[in-house]
Structure 1
Amino acid sequence: MKKLIYRHRDIEYTLTNIEPDLWSWSFAINGKIKRGTTRARLNLLAQRRVCILIDRELKDTARTKPREPD
């Protein structure tokens, strides 16, 4: 089992090769931990998919952030 740790937009995430073509990932944003798996033949493709998920979470977090009163 191969465990790798990366950073994307100051968010640390891990990728673990569970079996051939199956990767487990996890990251935390604002104390909320997200976990899942993805099928990818290449390590770089699995990294890219997790980066897209992180970008999506950051966008949702910014969208739901309460606005300051004027």
Structure 2
Amino acid sequence: MNEPVINAVYAIELCSGEVRYWQYLGPDSRRLIWWLDTETKQEFNEASLMYAWSIKGLHSSRWPTA
């Protein structure tokens, strides 16, 4: 897969088989990669994740503003 697109929403499959939708926020100045869980509205970086996951595909390239 190509590099994720900033602000695009991706379908993410967790090791449990659950699919979540995360918005890719991109790297910060320390090169940590940040995401936003679209359901919980929590931001997190990849280094903080304690489980396996994979990008299944692009869900949406636009984030709703409402």
What band does the TM-score fall into relative to the shorter chain? 0.3 to 0.5
What TM-score, normalized by structure 2, do the two folds share? Answer: 0.37
Give TM-score, length-normalised by structure 1: 0.36
Q: Which has the larger radius of gyration?
A: 1
Q: Which has the higher contact order (CA 8 A, sep 6+)?
A: 2
Q: Which has more helix, going by share of residues?
A: 1
